[in-house]
Structure 1
Amino acid sequence: MSSMGLSGPIYTVHQVPEHFKEHFIVRGYRNPKSTAKQCILSVFDATNETFNFWTHFLPSCYFVWVLKGLSETLDFRNDPYTWPLLAYMFVAVIFPLASATAHTFNTMSEEMRHFCFFLDYGALSIFSLGGAIAYRAYSFPSVLVDTWFGHNFIFIATMISVIAVVLSCQTRFMKLSFLRNFIRLGSFGFSYLFDCTPIMYRLIFCSPEECALPSQSQHARQFVFAFSAAIFFATHFPERFYPAKFDIFGHSHQLFHVASILGTMDQMQAILHDMVDRRMLLQDSWWFPSFSGSVGVIGAVMAINTCTIAFFSLRLRSFVKSTKSS
């Protein structure tokens, strides 16, 4: 029996198509052919997607508020030193907003479900790149700045970011398998690990001056939250062990959202501390003198990701037809 919400009937796992089922989630499914209006109303229903929406929509609003406050104290228009921060704050707003949007509208159709996740992958890609740009600008270990790794860090991060979107989108056309999960998780996992390599190095081999920076503890705590998010995502805990107990509130994807946002907040605070505390040191050899080197890179990768998503979206109709016929 299905229950009723503001958006219409709420289904059990046995009442929805295979492609809309979530591991170990029994109740709280929305109509797999929802209208846009039903999708919007569903964020006020008790569904298994409701808190997935709010745990990313509200942080996106918070990051907008932080960006507004920074814009009142920093000269984003004329000060090159602030441009990498502007790039980072922009993508910090975009990635949870894209995720919230994907979780809202992914039940309009099977094609829309794939498209929503394409958008989610693209947003994760530019957020990863934005973090790399901010790290290179403000948090890079001094000993690595004038090295091959330091000089090529942004270029490599950009390539990894673009490749991650291509690979993750391609997995939407693969059958459920270990390889599909490995490629999807591995593409963004590798991107995150590469971007954070200089921070890991700084935490382990910091100079006396770097060890004394207030941001050290926030950088370290960010890794704790990131590791926790990965564990929740990979293990499907707690619903794996308690089916039907955490369908609406407290399941692994919601905990994954919360841990990833807490990690992002620590990352943001650490970057802001480094930006202020290391300014005198960094400005002597400033690496981002042009707007195109930071915000421009984000814009270029967003354009590439848009083209990538458009390409894979064009393949959706024939793919969905083939899966239904088979």
Structure 2
Amino acid sequence: MFILHGYRHPKSSFTQCVLSLFDATNETLNAWTHFLPAFYFIWVFFGLSQSLNFWSDSYTWPLLVYMLVCCVFPFMSAIAHTFNTMSERARHICFFLDYTALSLLSLGVAIAYRAYAFPQALRNTIYGDLFVTGAVINSLLCVLVSCETRFMKPSGLRKVLRLGSFALPYVYDSIPIVYRLLFCSKTECALTSHPLLARQFIFAFFSAFLYATHLPERLRPGQFDIIGHSHQLFHISSILATMDQIQAMLGDMRERAEELKASWEFTSPNSSLNILAAVLILNTIIIFIFSIRRLPLATKSEGRCC
């Protein structure tokens, strides 16, 4: 609406989409602001794999889940922004996959928070016991609602549902961390992760603000078409939040090791890795249903209208 120039042809070939990464379009930096962080997170993951035993040490499994989704979500977003102009059908499928990656991120964050960052006061409670279960439900709802919004006409309701489908899992994941920041014990307040967890909320809030307001291009349409529009800034801010979050997870994992290992709750893959695998399978089924049932009807209708 406020981006006036720099659009690619809506029926670009695969080669044209790849070459557009090196051209001045309004999607170029959308892709690179997630491609480059994806490679950075993979590099961090590789470094961790050299010092941690991800194969057999159950204490590392929640971190493994978290790092996997941290690597996947920016990569899938970059892929979506690169290839979404191949066709109308490709556009929908690209962003179906993007939504799936974001929903898995919310689940991975919840598992890592529950494993390493959860406030001690909430650990042995019904809330603590059901926290990951709630995250699973949120992850599936995130995909269902966000995919459904692609078939709604542009409206305020559509925007609220789209933003809400991602905001709800984030808010849910954040509740125990906000509690910890507000009511931390003396030991928890002294952890190096404390300021990092607080700062990532600032970046996350800024990300949501940019996504919802379309600033700065709303103020000067056409002036930020290639560089500086809200979606690029939204990407950068969300990546900065993730970088702080990763460091906070690593800090808690190391500094709270003695406390956490004494009553470690993630001794089985069923409590971390298998949950991620199960939700990935369910999300894939959801995407498959949308792609073969809803999408053909929608694109056929669009074809008649146009």
- Please say if 1:291 is aligned against 2:291: no
Higher relative contact order (CA 8 A, sep 6+): 2
Runs of 4+ with >6 A deviation = none
3-state SS in 1 of match to 2:22: coil
Matches within 5 A, 1:1-326: 23-314=1-292, 315-326=294-305
1:194-243 deviations in whole A, cap 9, x for unaligned? 01110000000000110111100000000000000001111100000111
1:11-53 deviations in whole A, cap 9, x for unaligned? xxxxxxxxxxxx2001100010001111011000000000000
Distance 1:161 1:117 in 2: 16
Match for 1:85: what amino acid?
L
Distance 2:87 2:10 in 1: 6
Match for 1:30: what amino acid?
R
1:100-136 deviations in whole A, cap 9, x for unaligned? 0000000011111111110110000000100000000
Match for 1:215: what amino acid?
S
3-state SS in 1 of match to 2:12: coil
Partner in structure 2 of residue 6 of structure 1: none
3-state SS in 1 of match to 2:6: strand
Distance 1:303 1:181 in 2: 27
Give the C-alpha shift of residue 323 in structure 1: 2.3
Higher helix share: 2
Distance 1:160 1:138 in 2: 20
3-state SS in 2 of match to 1:28: coil
For this pair of structures, how many residues does the alignment match?
304
Tell me the TM-score normalized by structure 1: 0.92
3-state SS in 1 of match to 2:153: coil
Give the C-alpha shift of residue 301 in structure 1: 0.8
Distance 2:198 2:169 in 1: 18
RMSD across aligned C-alpha pairs, in angstroms? 0.7
Structure 1 gap segments, 5+ residues each: 1-22
Q: Percent identity?
A: 57
Structure 2 gap segments, 5+ residues each: none
Distance 1:287 1:224 in 2: 30
Tell me the TM-score normalized by structure 2: 0.98
